Amino acid sequence: MHATEETLWSLALYGLAVLSLVALMLGLSYALGQQRRSRATDEPFESGIVSVGSGRLRLSVAYFVVAILFVIFDLEVVFLYAWAAAFDAVGLAGFVEALIFILVLLAALAYLWREGALDWGPRQRSLERTERER
């Protein structure tokens, strides 16, 4: 109990020190630095080159879908790595459980494929097909 309180105090002190250091740095640069406003002040710094065009790009929706798919399968791999490391220890039960996990993801993949999430580019053939059917 006593030890916890002591560590909590030191943690609070540390937090306070961090805050005051940040405040000091920001405050000093605000107080000592020169404040000048000119035409180029608010422009983004691009290594001395004047920036061209807008920063707002139009990305194809397919990019987003692929990103999501990547995250899903990346996560799957995380779980499978854990399983692979403990393959001998968990035995048959672990194998069955991992199999169920993979099969569920496979069902999700099949659904995504039918939805046209795997078609690259802005034209999605399977979506068009469902439109035609309608």
Partner 1 sequence: MIGAAELRALLPLMLVALTAIGTLLLAGFRRDARLAALGYQGGLLLTLLTLPWALPEQPLEVTPLLRIDGFFGYFAALFVLVAMAVGLMMQRQVRSKTSGERVEESYVLLAICLLGALVLAGAQHFAALFVGLELISVASFALVAYPCGGRPSTDIRQRNSLEAGLKYLVLSSVASGFLLFGIGCLYLDSGSLAFAPLPPSTSLALPGLALLLVGVAFKLALVPFHFWSPDIYQGAPTPVAALVATLSKGALFAVMLRYLWFGALQELETLVPAVALLASLSMLGGNLLALRQRDIKRLLAYSSIAHLGYLLLVLLAIGHAGVAIEAGAFYVLAYSLTTLGAFALIGCVCEAGDEPDYRLEAFAGLIWRAPLLGASLMLILLSLAGIPLTVGFIGKFYIVAAGVDAGLWWLLAVLVAGSAIGLYYYLRIILIMLAPQSEPSGIGGGRWLVYGLTLLLVLLGVYPLPVLQWLPVL
Residues from 46 through 65 that contact partner 1 (CB under 8 A): none
**Could you write out the DSSP letters of every residue in 87-117?**
HHHHHHHHHHHHHHHHHHHHHHHHHHHHHTT
Candidates 29, 46, 93, 132; binder of partner 1 (CB under 8 A) is 93
Distance CA 47, CA 92 (A): 59
Block residue for tokens 């996990």: 101
Is residue 108 a contact point for partner 1 (CB under 8 A)? yes
Segment contacting partner 1 by CB under 8 A, of 32-40, 58-66, 81-89, 103-111: 103-111
Is residue 7 a contact point for partner 1 (CB under 8 A)? no
Is residue 10 a contact point for partner 1 (CB under 8 A)? no
Distance CA 134, CA 130 (A): 6
CA 104 from chain centre, in angstroms, equals 24
Tell the smallest beta-carbon distance from residue 87 to partner 1 (Å): 18
Is residue 104 a contact point for partner 1 (CB under 8 A)? yes
The token duo for 95 is 């194998």
By the criterion CB under 8 A, which residues form the site for partner 1?
A: 1, 4-5, 93, 104, 107-108, 110-111, 113-115, 130, 133-134
